[in-house]
Amino acid sequence: MAFEKVRVRFAPSPTGGLHLGGVRTVLYNYLFAKQQKGEFILRIEDTDKSRYVEGAEKYIFDCIDWCGLQADESVLRPGPYAPYRQSERKETYKKYAEQLIKDGHAYYAFDTTEEIEALREKLKASGSNSLMYDHHVRMQMKNSLSLSTTETQALLDQKTPYVIRVKVEPGQEMHFNDIIRGEISFDTTHVDDKVLLKADGMPTYHLAVVVDDFLMKISHAFRGEEWLPSAPVHILLWKHLFGLENMPQWAHLPLILKPDGHGKLSKRDGDRLGFPVYAMDWKDPLTGNVTKGFKELGFLPQAFINMLAMLGWSSGTEQEIFTKEELVEKFSLERVHKAGAKFDFEKAKWYNHEWIKKLSPEELKADVIEIFSAKNIEIKDEDFLLKVIGLVKDRCTLLTDFYEQGIFFFQSPNVLDKEAVMPKWNDDKKQFFTLFAEELANLRDFDPLDIETSFKTLVAEKGIKPGELLLPLRIMLVGGKYGPGVFEIASAIGSQETIRRINKALNIFNA
RNA sequence: GCCGCGUUGGUCAAGAGGUUAAGACGCCUCCCUUUCACGGAGGAAUCACGGGUUCGAGUCCCGUACGUGGUACCA
């Protein structure tokens, strides 16, 4: 099983949305490929027409792009093994399915849905603990094993709809070595005769994944733990079709679970608990419903993939904040957890906060401009914006927080928190601010220290406690009890604007 | 039901037979800050249970419980 180089793949189905677990699988694939100087390819599983959603394919590429995890080969960037859409590889799968029949490892099955339903009813009634189409029942069904060659040929000639099923021989021990879980064993007695090729000529996942992985020379295959139970089928196909020695190494990733209750995290949990489960906003073209994404909520892609990487993996050190490059360097499949992890949105926000603190104003600039422009605030002076970002970024958890944390640098506050001021408002204070505004007009340099000195001097003259006046001043400039140091703010917005805001507020407070 | 996989604080987790069982999120207290954050110091809180093996078990084995996934012409 000598592979020339590491080749990994991710194969989403375009059924709408890209869930956290999916993005994490992409991420682990990407990290491993880059680390091993290998290639990451992205193929599309679009063989189920009934679930195909228009636009979902593009959406998947957009999400992956936002996360910065571009594939080396894909529908967008075809490589030597194109096409990468399974619907365009139909004939290939059919060829291998027929090969399997020829070799006696698969068979035609002509049973209708109703007949299979009836089988299950019958099994249930008889108290059987297995409702599968398997070696117990296949000779009672309508297929090329129970029928004679001529009968089978006749049905085929009449264009009777059929599927192709694997023939699983019972009583065989099967082993394989999972990179994360180690030795895993199955008994084929409990494996059913899975459908390989559907009546419409499309392959099922089982056939397609094996054929594609072989043809595309995949060396390592990572997928969610939910696939573990179907591994025996895949191993059987590898054995019969391409040889076990050519099979990729498997790694079954732990599941991402609901924060409360039980089960896999699903799209509905996000709506229910108020956090996103998709990378980006997804608008269902049929219903028009929008499912929220991390991007639009105000997450940085760096924080998003950092958080995702740590959900099921740890470096073994105390480091928690990793750049993509550091992840490529440090990541190891052996250190991926076996158990599923509950998703914690609070921790996700913490990662974002850390990343906002870590990035420079320059690196944050483009995102912040976008946040403001979405609120119809046009940024004219970028140097000023950079200064503002530097002043407020430590108090922003989400990118969208830049709006409320920074808006007062660009606009006089519309609403003042009067409640915080009025109960203690009096003539002395009124007088103070009137005087203070006049003082400010005379200041040469309007830097924070000068303003503070001027303020303190006046406060001392008037014999009022500074604390009594600092809060009203803040409310006047900012509107509320938040933001960086008042004198920093005053200096940033300039003397004219500061005086204007003080006077405006005086009118309101004195009214 | 059957089959697979798993189980360290509320959550993410370190831990590869001998540790005072790291660290982070969240929560609480205090300090800093004449706002809100940032930052700093501290606190409460954990090895699912029962049997083995061993001088010694969170770590190895077996069982039980619980969780989770699969059991589709879905992926």
Q: Which residues of A398-425 are buried (b: 16+ CB within 10 A; e: fewer)?
A: bbbbbbebbbbbbeebeebbeeebeeee
Evaluated on CA atoms A384, A387, A392, A394, the torsion sign reads positive
Give residue A93's pLDDT: 98
Question: Closest residue to B1 by CA to C1' distance?
Answer: A129
Measured CA to C1', the nucleotide nearest A48 is B74
CA of A72 to C1' of B37 (A): 42
Contact assessment for residue A212 and residue A43, using Cβ atoms and an 8 Å cutoff: yes
Q: Which amino acid is at A123?
A: L
Question: Closest residue to B6 by CA to C1' distance?
Answer: A339
Give residue A1's pLDDT: 53
Give residue A358's pLDDT: 97
Question: Closest residue to B11 by CA to C1' distance?
Answer: A344
Beta bridge partners, A291, equal A282
Measured CA to C1', the nucleotide nearest A230 is B70
Contact assessment for residue A449 and residue A485, using Cβ atoms and an 8 Å cutoff: no
Question: Closest residue to B73 by CA to C1' distance?
Answer: A198
CA of A78 to C1' of B28 (A): 56
Measured CA to C1', the nucleotide nearest A44 is B75
Question: Which sequence positions of A are flagged as catalytic?
Answer: 267
d(CA A390, CA A359): 10
Consecutive 10-residue averages of pLDDT for chain A (511 residues): 87 94 97 97 96 95 98 97 97 98 98 93 86 94 96 97 97 92 92 97 98 97 96 97 96 94 88 94 93 96 98 94 97 95 96 98 97 94 96 96 96 92 91 95 91 94 90 95 95 95 93 77
CA of A469 to C1' of B29 (A): 29
Question: Closest residue to B14 by CA to C1' distance?
Answer: A316
Pairing of strands A195-197, A39-42: unpaired
Tokens linked to A21: 């677990």
Q: What is the dihedral of CA A76, A80, A81, A84, to 10 degrees?
A: 10
Q: Token match 């290998």: residue?
A: A38
Tokens linked to A357: 């603190």
Vertex A316, ends A310 and A318: CA angle to 5°? Answer: 80
CA of A179 to C1' of B17 (A): 25
Tokens linked to A50: 């009934």
- Interface predicted TM-score of the whole assembly (ipTM), two decimals: 0.96
CA of A206 to C1' of B74 (A): 11
Contact assessment for residue A10 and residue A40, using Cβ atoms and an 8 Å cutoff: yes
Contact assessment for residue A64 and residue A278, using Cβ atoms and an 8 Å cutoff: no
Q: Which residues contact A304 (CB under 8 A, 6 or more apart)?
A: A23, A67, A279, A294, A295, A351, A352
Pairing of strands A7-10, A39-42: parallel
Measured CA to C1', the nucleotide nearest A339 is B6
Evaluated on CA atoms A480, A416, A405, A346, the torsion sign reads positive
Tokens linked to A455: 């303020």
Measured CA to C1', the nucleotide nearest A110 is B73
Pairing of strands A341-342, A7-10: unpaired
> Whose CA is closest to A201, among A88, A81, A115?
A88
CA of A384 to C1' of B31 (A): 34
d(CA A238, CA A227): 16
CA of A393 to C1' of B41 (A): 25
Protein-contacted positions of strand B (CB under 7 Å):
1-8, 10-15, 22-26, 33-39, 67-75
Helices assigned H by DSSP within A167-284: 205-215, 231-241, 267-273
Per-position DSSP letters for A250-277, written without gaps between them: EEEEPPEE-SSSSSB--HHHHHHHTS--
